[in-house]
Amino acid sequence: MPRANRYFVPGYVWHITHRCHKREFLLRFSQDRQAWIRWLFEARKRYGLEILNYVVTSNHVHLLVYGGTDREAIPRSMQLIAGRTAQEYNQRKQRKGGFWEDRYHATAVETDEHLARCLTYIDLNMVRAGVVRHPAMWTHGGHSEIINPPARYRLIARGRLLNLLSMDEATFQTAYPAWIGEAMSAVAGREPAW
């Protein structure tokens, strides 16, 4: 049976998730998570992927991106990231077979409170899993860059993020930590909306 077509709606924000094959912990080592991030950076450079947030866990990834007008930017980026991460892992481990469970899953996100909730949901992934107490402690996610943007080698499209949230830098610098704090006080497990 053929796969269903993917629909692309320009100008939307997309929450993308991708799981490792059989939910195995194929990304359990830091070097594998770092490889995924390195290829994410390459996808940003090659295809103009506008990244709003991300987190790499031990067995899946979350990626929040802006869909712009180029309908090929997201699929090409995901093909590059997933393919190269799997190739590197399989070569290093002298392994054959599938790395990813299936194609990535993409859900459209509204650019209002839904976007703010999605940002915090992604950041709190490893907190909910009980791996860290605060998202700043997990180095394989976008939280630290959102809080303290680096001068070079940025992944997060900060201007786009602020524009989508209809905020200026000063308002965002106050609001974002408050959202994280509020979400952390309510952490009780996986939210069914995601």
Q: DSSP string of 23-56?
A: G--TT-SHHHHHHHHHHHHHHHHHH--EEEEEEE
What is the signed CA dihedral for 180, 182, 188, 192, rounded to 10 degrees?
Answer: -70
**26 vs 190 pLDDT, higher one:** 26
Which pLDDT score is estimated for 66? 96
Which pLDDT score is estimated for 151? 85
> Positive or negative CA dihedral for 110, 116, 117, 118?
positive
| Mean pLDDT to the nearest integer, 127-133 | 94
HSE, CB side, 13 Å, CA atoms: give it for residue 90.
Answer: 14
* β-pair partners for 55: 62, 141
Residue 1: is its pLDDT beyond 50?
no
Residue 147: is its pLDDT beyond 60?
yes
Residue 52: is its pLDDT beyond 50?
yes
pLDDT (tens digit, 9 = 90+) per residue, 7-26?
A: 677 889 999 999 999 889 99
| Exposed/middle/buried for residue 187 (C-beta within 10 Å: 0-12, 13-18, 19+) | exposed
| Mean pLDDT to the nearest integer, 65-87 | 94
| Mean pLDDT to the nearest integer, 44-48 | 97
Return the axis-axis angle of helices 158-165 and 113-123, rounded to nearest 10°.
Answer: 130
Contact 100, 20 (CB under 8 A): yes
| Mean pLDDT to the nearest integer, 45-71 | 96
Cβ neighbours of residue 106 under 8 Å, at least 6 residues apart? 6, 14, 15, 16, 74
The pTM is what? 0.91
| Mean pLDDT to the nearest integer, 35-46 | 97
Residue 85: is its pLDDT beyond 90?
yes
